[in-house]
Amino acid sequence: MTGEDREARTATPPRRGRPPAGRSTLSRTAIVDAALALIDDDGVEAVSMRTVARRLRVDPKSLYNHVADKDALLDGVAERVISLVRVPKPTGDARADLRAVCLAYREAALAAHPRAATLVLTRRVESAGSLAPLDAVLSILARAGHPPAAAVHVVRTVLAFMTGTLLREADAAAPFGTDDFGTAAARTAALRESGFPAVGEAAPHLARCDHEHEFLTGLDLILDAFGSRAPRATDGSEQS
């Protein structure tokens, strides 16, 4: 902070033209880094081409030499975060391995960069860097005997559950501190007075949420459900 001040005071006036040979200040990855750091500090809504450029001490328009537009930049951030998923080594126990990948995904998307989570969950990202977790899950399922069509279906169901759950976690984290007491009481009261009988009855349970427990038990439920459907042994072709 004081370091930044000193640098700002010493700053040479912005030079024009190509930068001095080897000193290629800017790059796509540097820009994505800056955007992610900005999101970590101030949230997604703080991202603008101008604020990102400010962080890099660069003219906003310079970004367009490395990134198509703001939308592409945000895609880049989402992709980067997914690429941070540390896919665990498979043990051979399909169910446990699936669970482990899901936990790693939650770790990267939610714990490491909580304020970038909505980006990751909300944007359709399918570029090279982000396919590793998908590949891991598909190969676990293949080894367990699921034909590709069935495996894709499992992936989609699990991913849908995870997206919904993590999205809920992500924006619960924003307004309230993780486990808030006062607001839980207020929310209970509000739900009680809503005029909806069943909502009123369940009010205290609706007002607070143990996110981790919710995630783990929901995931187990779904994995159990798929586990109880015996996968086809070796044959890939089926009647439909």
Q: Which residues bind DNA (CB under 7 A)?
A: 14-19, 24-26, 47-51, 58-62, 64-66, 69-71
Q: Which among 8-16, 62-70, 76-84, 153-161 is the span making contact with its own copies, rule CB under 8 A? A: 153-161
* 160 touches its own copies by CB under 8 A: yes
Q: Least distance to its own copies from the beta carbon of 71, Å?
A: 10
CB 136 within 8 A of CB 109: no
Can residue 198 be called a binding residue for its own copies (CB under 8 A)?
A: yes
- Considering only residues 89 to 118 of the shown chain, the ones binding its own copies according to CB under 8 A are 118
44 in contact with its own copies (CB under 8 A):
no
Residue closer to DNA, measured from CB, 48 or 127:
48
Instruction: Give the CA radius of gyration of the chain.
Output: 23
Q: Please choose which of its own copies, DNA, none residue 196 contacts, taking the beta carbon within 5 to 8 angstroms, the exact cut-off set by kind.
A: its own copies
**How far out from the chain centre does Cα 100 lie?**
16
Stretch 203-232: interaction string toward its own copies, x if CB under 8 A: -xxx--x----x--xx--xx-xxx------
Q: Does 122 bind its own copies (CB under 8 A)?
A: yes
CA 146 to CA 100: how far, in whole Å? Answer: 18
In the complex, minimum distance from the CB of residue 163 to its own copies, in angstroms, rounded to a whole number: 3
Contact positions toward its own copies, by CB under 8 A?
A: 118, 122, 124, 128, 131-132, 134-136, 138-139, 142, 148-149, 151-153, 156-157, 159-165, 167-168, 171-172, 194-199, 201-202, 204-206, 209, 214, 217-218, 221-222, 224-226
